[in-house]
Structure 1
Amino acid sequence: MQWTGQVYADCPTVSAHTYIEAPPERVWALVSDIRLMPRLSSELREVEWLDGATAAECGTRFVGRNAHPAYGSWETTSTVMECEAPRRFCWAVGDPGHPAGRWRFTLTPEGSGTVLEQWAQMGPGPSGLTYAIEAMPDKEQKIVFVRLREFEAGMLANLAAIKTLAEDGD
């Protein structure tokens, strides 16, 4: 990821992708299972469906509990915004109309496998990063850049783990 000089109000995005030698349906079963994600993430510690939901559908909500050495521990409620099996799974963190962020997996068939992309957007709603920026407004661009790099590193690790699970059939 290269320096962009973006600020939080720009709603900066980051993405990563990989090719997986497995059909989209196999990959979909992994990326749409929110209970798998804490096993893959260095920040997400646990998740649970809310309101009696048991699987991803548009409008379902889940809570995520996170921890980061610099930001401490926090909890968010996310709403599934898109759930088009086996192509697209997207959720908004916080208020769906003004989210703290959006996350998405996109699956594209290619040959005998799948190209899997993970994408994230910061903002436009306030998040934990907002407080760091308010405390050090002169460092906003650097704070945003460092956080985007952390997102990217996490995505690359997620994609590698999903690739292994999908290709090994575990």
Structure 2
Amino acid sequence: MEWTGARYADQPEVEVEAFVAAPPERVWPLLDPARMPPTSTELQSVEWIDGATGPAEGSRFRGRNAHPSLGEWSVTGTVVTCEPSSTLVWEMDSADVGEGMPSSRWTLRCVPEGDGTRVHQQVRLGPGRSGLSRAIESMPDKEQKIVFVRLREFEGAMTRTLEAIRADAEA
């Protein structure tokens, strides 16, 4: 994928995919964000809040993160699409409370393929502010490099997540 020249305001995105030798119905439960911290070097924990116990449209969760360059932070996510065995989409709140725009949008899709499932994971940055926004503001001349590096980090993390989902579903 080519990210050269991407700026945060462009809402850059990255997507990875993996084939899983299991039907979507077996893969789907593994897409719960609360299952993802063990596969991540950044996402430390996920806790469903406001009485939610798992993904459903409108359900919310709090994620706790740590990154060597960005520090530690918590952020709230809201599930905006939940179509069982098909599509799960959530948006993370902006770093500026009350801004009303998500700092990122995460999508997981299960597409039946033969006897298995093609799983796609995508993240789109912005349009709301995030910790990345602060990094860009402190080094505006390096914005494109900052965005490029962040998307590469997400690409690696999402690849590890899909590999873990594949291993669990195929076990």
The two structures share one fold, judged by TM-score above 0.5: yes
User: 1:55, CA displacement in angstroms?
Assistant: 1.6
Aligned pairs, number:
167
- Residue 12 of structure 2 is matched in structure 1 by 12
> 1:127 maps to what in 2?
130
Counterpart residue identity of residue 55, structure 2: A
CA–CA separation in structure 2 for the residues paired with 1:108 and 1:157: 19
Amino acid at match of 2:69: A
Q: Distance in 2 between matches of 1:158 and 1:92?
A: 18
Note the residue ranges of structure 1 that are not aligned, 5 or more in a row.
none
Determine whether 1:90 maps to 2:93: no
Tell me, what secondary structure is at the counterpart of 2:34? Answer: coil
Q: Evaluate the alpha carbon distance shift between residue 94 and residue 111 of structure 1 in structure 2; reply closer, same or farther with a 3 A threshold.
A: same
The separation in 1 between residues aligned to 2:162 and 2:139, in whole angstroms, is 33
Partner deviation per Cα, 1:9-67 (whole Å, 9 max, x = no partner): 00000000010000001110100x22211111111101111111112110010000000
Counterpart in the other structure of 2:26 = 26
Work out whether 1:116 is the aligned partner of 2:119. Answer: yes
User: Partner amino acid for 2:26?
Assistant: R
Deviation of residue 6 (structure 1)?
0.7
Task: Determine the structure 2 residue equivalent to 1:66.
Answer: 65
Partner of residue 38, structure 1: 37
User: CA-atom RMSD, angstroms?
Assistant: 1.2
Distance in 2 separating the partners of 1:94 and 1:35: 17
Q: Deviations over 1:86-130 (max 9, x none)?
A: 100010000595100000100000000000000000000000000
Which consecutive unaligned segments of at least 5 residues does structure 2 have? Answer: none
Amino acid corresponding to residue 30 of structure 2 in structure 1: L
| Alpha-carbon offset, residue 3 of structure 1 | 3.7
Residues of 1 paired with 2:15 and 2:3: CA distance?
A: 15
Q: Distance in 2 between matches of 1:58 and 1:72?
A: 30
CA distance in 2, matches of 1:43, 1:148: 14
The amino acid that maps onto 1:98 is M
3-state secondary structure, aligned to 2:33:
coil
Runs of 4+ in 1 over 6 A off after TM superposition: none
Aligned partner (choices 100, 104, 112) of residue 101 of structure 1: 104
What is the rounded CA distance, in whole Å, between the counterparts of 2:34 and 2:10 in structure 1? 31
